[in-house]
Each structure stands twice: as C-alpha cells, then as structure tokens.
C-alpha cells in the first residue's frame, strides 16, 4: 500500500526554484520533508505539525516553504534560491500520531511512520 508519493523533482541551476508535491493516501496530522544528500544521512528540512505550525532546518530557513492542502491530503515544498548543497533525494514523511514542533533528536525512521520513495533534486553550479 502506498501511503505517500512524491513528485516534482528535477534538475536546476543554482538560484533556481522547484516545487515538490506529496500526495498522501489519507489525512496525517504531522507531515514533513527530509533530505538525503549523496553519502550523507537523511535529515529533516521542514515539517508541519498537528497545529499547522511550520518549522524549518536552519539550512533552508528563508529559502524553502512547506505548505499543506488538507482537502487534497497533499503536502508541498517550495524551494527557492537552490544551491548545489541542496542536491539529493527528498522524501515525504508522515506520522499517524500528533506531535508539536520539530522532530526530536534521534532516529527519523522511527519517528515518522511512512515514507515516500523519494524524488531527486539536482542543483548545478
């Protein structure tokens, strides 16, 4: 069963923009985007919590915007001013239970319940 599915990745030059989408099979109270650069661990970059509040990792603050359409069960990530270090796979992740704020330190794989397959973003300099 596919719980979430990402789309919208691609290749852009530095300074460009991309918009990622994540279609969820149902409503999830906590949703987010995680980034895995080549050879590095997966890290969260933006989340929307149960109260609808957004939180961003310092690396994307001011450049990325996360939003959610509850009527469509769809999550978005608008990425502006892209830089080569933004290159990698972007995963949509959801949590069936409620939570407020950023993910706690530790294992993202146990914090989030379901993950998408990932969508590739490549930023060239």
For residue 38, CA distances in Å to 2, 14, 41, 62 come to 25, 17, 8, 23
Average pLDDT of the residues in 63-78: 96
pLDDT reported for residue 106: 86
pLDDT for res 54: 97
pLDDT at position 82: 98
Percent of the chain with pLDDT over 70: 100
Q: Report the distance separating Cα 19 and Cα 111, nearest Å.
A: 25
């Amino acid at each position: 069963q596919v719980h979430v599915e990402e789309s919208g990745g691609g290749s852009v030059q530095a300074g460009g923009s991309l918009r990622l989408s994540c279609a969820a099979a149902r409503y999830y109270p906590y949703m987010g985007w995680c980034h895995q650069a080549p050879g590095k661990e997966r890290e969260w970059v933006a989340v929307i919590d149960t109260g609808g509040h957004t939180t961003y990792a310092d690396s994307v603050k001011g450049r990325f915007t996360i939003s959610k359409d509850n009527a469509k069960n769809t999550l978005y990530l608008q990425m502006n001013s892209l830089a080569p270090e933004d290159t990698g796979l972007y995963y949509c992740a959801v949590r069936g239970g409620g939570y407020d704020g950023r993910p706690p330190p530790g294992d993202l794989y146990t914090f989030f319940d379901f993950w998408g397959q990932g969508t590739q973003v490549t930023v060239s300099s």
